[in-house]
Structure 1
Amino acid sequence: MNQAQPQRGQFFLLQPDTTRGGRGHGVVFENVKTLRTLPRMILRPASGGFPTLSEAPRLVHSPEQGDPPQDLEGGISGYWMVSERLQRVLSQVDPDGFAFVAADYRLSDDKKGPPYYLCDVIRELDALDEASSKLTIELSDEFPAGKFYDLTGGSSLIFRRDAVGAAHVFRTPYSGRLVFCDRHLRDAIMDAGMGTEKETYGVWFTDAADI
């Protein structure tokens, strides 16, 4: 039986740009200890989405910590931090794929900054064609789902279109917090001036067929 061929230009790894140089963002999550639920060390629940919040997440830019945030930043207690214009694109293209909470974003002088949101990708699809993809699949009871997709060392991922359906963004049960999107969402972000094949404004796309 012939294996499916790589779907170049069809699906992409979507992530914040961690290679842009500089100090990175200097955003401090001031009230995370008030909002999180112990014993969890981050706000995001293990099941994803947002817990009930007693107040808005307070995010403050500290120049001593780093640069102002771009359109997409990661590492905010398990969430992405997204600008208003990126939030608008994501929610318009795939409203069921994302969850958002408006943040109280402040500048270093405590003045209100531009609108930002915490964002989580809440759709999970077991859509990878494992037999046709090139990757390392680790099996162990130590993994929450019993296996893990290791993409280091070069990978080529092929997704089953019948499993993806009309979704434009998703995670898989076996790839941790990695997020995948289709060309439609990628093009919408690029058309809004926030992404290229490489990176701008903190948005980074990598072709899933050639990771």
Structure 2
Amino acid sequence: MKMDNKPKAGEFYVISSDVRGGGPGHGVVFENEKGLRPAGQGIIRPRDGGFPPMGETPRLRYDKRQGRMPGDLQGGFSGYWLTSEPLKQLLESVDPDGFAFVPCEFVLEDGSQGPPYFLCDVVRTLDALDEAASTVKILTEGYSAGKHYSLAGGASLAFFKDVIGSAHVFRTPYNSRLVICDRVLRDALLDGGFGKAPNSRGVWLEDAAKY
């Protein structure tokens, strides 16, 4: 390990949708998901991120038989997060170039319009992980990018700060599901009431130095 860049607690965080609590999860049905997929692609999200051209607005419908109302952050929407308007506004205020959003049509069970929700993607990708200073599983077989960072079983991540620069959020090219944010965005989320116990509002934050 390079001691000059060892993982430091409180610098960077893994941000994801909070899936704790068990139960059936959310009850949002993505009605036109298949119609929005590019030909031959299992999900909508392109490999390089962002949104493909969409000929119609993503349509969501709430069905309480399938689960609860969505939180401010929900994962699993064809490769994207689903975010509320308050969370969208906070994310854009901290790092407007790090995120892209597409508005959704969200209908409640009685047919009325639900609160505003957006598909959200972290569109900045940085090759910023210091592999030599980190403790992380690096898988090399069967991945189109040549390798894959696996956090299964835990990890301790260090990053090249000169590569990150002024960015507050980014993905790694070697695990598209892994989203990293810095202390600035983490503190803004907590100050905004996201990611705090006992009600995380769907936002889960873990210290990347001791994941």
TM range (shorter): over 0.9
Is residue 64 of structure 2 the alignment partner of residue 63 of structure 1? yes
What residue in structure 2 maps to residue 117 of structure 1? 118
What residue in structure 1 maps to residue 129 of structure 2? 128
User: SS at the partner of 2:172?
Assistant: coil
What residue in structure 2 maps to residue 7 of structure 1? 8
What residue in structure 2 maps to residue 192 of structure 1? 192
Counterparts of 2:2 and 2:57, CA distance in 1: 52
Q: 1:146 to 1:193 in 2, by over 3 A?
A: same
What residue in structure 2 maps to residue 149 of structure 1? 149
Q: 1:133 to 1:32 in 2, by over 3 A?
A: same
Is residue 171 of structure 2 the alignment partner of residue 171 of structure 1? yes
Counterparts of 2:49 and 2:178, CA distance in 1: 13
* Cα-to-partner distance string for 1:95-114 (whole Å, 9 max, x where unaligned): 11111001101111221000
User: SS at the partner of 2:175?
Assistant: coil
Counterparts of 1:130 and 1:2, CA distance in 2: 10
What residue in structure 2 maps to residue 24 of structure 1? 25
Shift of 1:22: 2.5
Q: 1:199 to 1:165 in 2, by over 3 A?
A: farther
Could you tell me which amino acid in structure 2 is paired with residue 151 of structure 1? L
Could you tell me which amino acid in structure 1 is paired with residue 86 of structure 2? R
The number of equivalent residue pairs is 210
What residue in structure 1 maps to residue 91 of structure 2? 90
User: SS at the partner of 2:92?
Assistant: helix
Counterparts of 1:32 and 1:99, CA distance in 2: 18
Q: Normalising by the residue count of structure 1, what TM-score does the alignment of the two structures yield? A: 0.95
* Cα-to-partner distance string for 1:70-109 (whole Å, 9 max, x where unaligned): 0000001111000000000111111111110011011112
Shift of 1:20: 2.4
User: SS at the partner of 2:109?
Assistant: coil
Counterparts of 1:14 and 1:113, CA distance in 2: 26
Shift of 1:38: 1.7
Shift of 1:176: 2.8
Identity %: 53
Which segments of 5 or more consecutive residues in structure 1 lack a partner in the other structure? none
Conservation of the 8 A alpha-carbon contact between 1:199 and 1:205: no
Counterparts of 1:133 and 1:176, CA distance in 2: 18
What residue in structure 2 maps to residue 202 of structure 1? 202
Counterparts of 1:102 and 1:182, CA distance in 2: 26
What residue in structure 1 maps to residue 55 of structure 2? 54
Shift of 1:130: 0.5
Counterparts of 2:198 and 2:114, CA distance in 1: 28
Q: Normalising by the residue count of structure 2, what TM-score does the alignment of the two structures yield? A: 0.95
Counterparts of 1:160 and 1:196, CA distance in 2: 28
Conservation of the 8 A alpha-carbon contact between 1:60 and 1:106: yes
Counterparts of 2:67 and 2:94, CA distance in 1: 31
Counterparts of 1:108 and 1:87, CA distance in 2: 24
Could you tell me which amino acid in structure 2 is paired with residue 167 of structure 1? A
Which segments of 5 or more consecutive residues in structure 2 lack a partner in the other structure? none
| Greater mean deviation of Cα atoms: 38-47 or 151-160 | 38-47
Conservation of the 8 A alpha-carbon contact between 1:198 and 1:204: no
* Cα-to-partner distance string for 1:13-36 (whole Å, 9 max, x where unaligned): 000011122221111110112221
